[in-house]
Structure 1
Amino acid sequence: MVSFILDLMKNRKMIWTLAIKDVQTKYLGSVLGIVWAFVQPTISILIYWFVFQIGFKSTPVGDIPFVLWLLTGLVPWFFISESISSASNSIIENSYLVKKIVFRVSTLPIIKIISSLSIHVFFIVVLFVFFICYGYALDLYVLQVIYYLIASVILVLGISWITSTLVVFLKDVAQLIGMGLNFFFWLTPIFWNMSIVSDKYIFLFKLNPFFYIIEGYRQTFIYKEWFWEHPFLTAYYWIITLVILSVGVWLFKKLRPHFADVL
């Protein structure tokens, strides 16, 4: 693992260049170009806001306007779902690179995650702007975004190494990933408040590692709580994340020699 991290640092310029190229290529040929990367999530946010705020007349959560509460859940989820979806197909989409011995194939999911991360950073800035416009001053808690950003990247990376490896051998896995993300989308408290859940079932929702990230953003922007104030949940998250990451590294290394034969 240490050698892998050092190798990433050594090739960081190449990874960053390929990540930028990935974003540009994704929207190549369209009239608006890369602007679509920002337009699509924005439209989704507006649709969700209209349906729940106007249609269902959702009330403020505590004393927090519903739109702010909703944004702090949607913004990190968009990054998680987009990263996993795109990174899972990164190897089969770049099969020509797999056959090049000098190319480190394990960086392909990372490139997809970084390209998604660049869009995510923009929407984090949008979050800051929304909170300022609603009269909420920025404080030291916003620095915690960096922590949750790193936490989500490591989790997504571990998942992506597993899924991108499996997709090479089992194409049906790509469909299962889409179904799984849809399942976790509603299982994670993005649109609904945990206060409606019975105390005896709350621990079940906390088993979902995405719960930690979504609630982490809300603790940062809304509830003003540090992550170390939830030691057991934080410990559980990192144990699960490191296990997923280790499985991803092991599975990738074990099956990497067979990629070229299948592709």
Structure 2
Amino acid sequence: MGYLKNLYHDRNIIMQLAKNDFKVKYLGSYLGVFWAFVHPITMILIYWFVFTVGFRTMPIDNVPFVLWLIAGIIPWFFISEATSSGSSAILDNSYLVKKVVFRVSVLPIIKIISALFIHIIFILIAFGVFLFYSYPITIYHLQVLYFLFASIALVYGISLITSSLIVFSRDIGQIVSVLLQFGFWLTPIFWSFAIVPFNLQLFFKLNPIYYIVEGYRNTFIYQRWFWEDPLLTIYFWVVTIIIIGIGTILFKKLRPHFSDVL
């Protein structure tokens, strides 16, 4: 609760730094923020073309493949971008760590909020695409806020760990990139979970990102509440809280040494 109070107290400077971080990413390019949408949209179009035209993938559960893909890949874009940028939060803002009396623990939050700007726009785009395909907005869509919060909590815990360790070993950044690649292929983003043999399904469900991706699909497509999967929900939050706890302890122990190493 004390940490949440500190976040609320520093909310103005956090938002300002998040906006600055967002602008700096595209500073100097002619198209600016437009580049934030080029890569994700290109990926969606490529997967749609390969699986729909090339492999002639049929609609999954009577849902057009492009809708099924969008619902799963949008949360992944946010998790991947926020985790990558959150891992480098301290390195990218070393001047705040070394020369200014600043609450360093908010730096990962700043990176996450910066990534959140684009994610919110993609969510709105998803609503528009589903409306175009005659999928009406229902009360189930409210839980996108819940899964958005779940995504932020998970990424924040991971970022606390990785941003602390990367100060002492730059190899952590490469390890994070490799693990994100594994996470992309092991999460049912563009392939259906139904093809997984029953005896292996539990293994894939241990991936906390599975909960979020399926949650977005339950929100946009299947109209299923998150509490209808109580065991999976409990598991996700237990894992997330443990990750945040480990990240907090690690961050506090390593924080006094950041300025010396940087």
TM-score of Structure 1 vs Structure 2, range by shorter chain: over 0.9
Deviation per residue, 1:141-177 (Å, 9 max, x gap)? 0001000000010000000000000100111111000
Pairing 1:189-204 to 2, within 5 Å after superposition: 189-204=188-203
Is residue 64 of structure 1 aligned with residue 63 of structure 2?
A: yes
The residue identity in structure 2 corresponding to 1:114 is: I
Pairing 1:236-247 to 2, within 5 Å after superposition: 236-247=235-246
The separation in 1 between residues aligned to 2:60 and 2:173, in whole angstroms, is 36
- Partner residue of 1:110? 109
Unpaired runs of at least 5, structure 1: none
Offset of residue 101 of structure 1? 4.5
The separation in 1 between residues aligned to 2:49 and 2:20, in whole angstroms, is 34
Pairing 1:1-263 to 2, within 5 Å after superposition: 2-263=1-262
Offset of residue 40 of structure 1? 2.4
Deviation per residue, 1:53-102 (Å, 9 max, x gap)? 22222110011000000001110000000000011011111111111341
Offset of residue 51 of structure 1? 1.8
Structure 1 segments, 4+ long, off by >6 Å, are: none
When normalised by structure 1's length, the TM-score is: 0.98
**What SS does structure 2 have at the residue aligned with 1:225?**
coil
Offset of residue 38 of structure 1? 2.0
The separation in 1 between residues aligned to 2:222 and 2:206, in whole angstroms, is 21
The residue identity in structure 2 corresponding to 1:173 is: I
How many correspondences in the alignment?
Answer: 262
Across the aligned residues of Structure 1 and Structure 2, the Cα RMSD in angstroms comes to 0.9
When normalised by structure 2's length, the TM-score is: 0.98
The separation in 1 between residues aligned to 2:186 and 2:39, in whole angstroms, is 23
The separation in 2 between residues aligned to 1:38 and 1:194, in whole angstroms, is 27
The residue identity in structure 1 corresponding to 2:214 is: E
Bigger CA drift: 51-60 or 189-198? 51-60
Between the two proteins, what is the percent identity of the paired residues?
56
The separation in 1 between residues aligned to 2:18 and 2:51, in whole angstroms, is 35
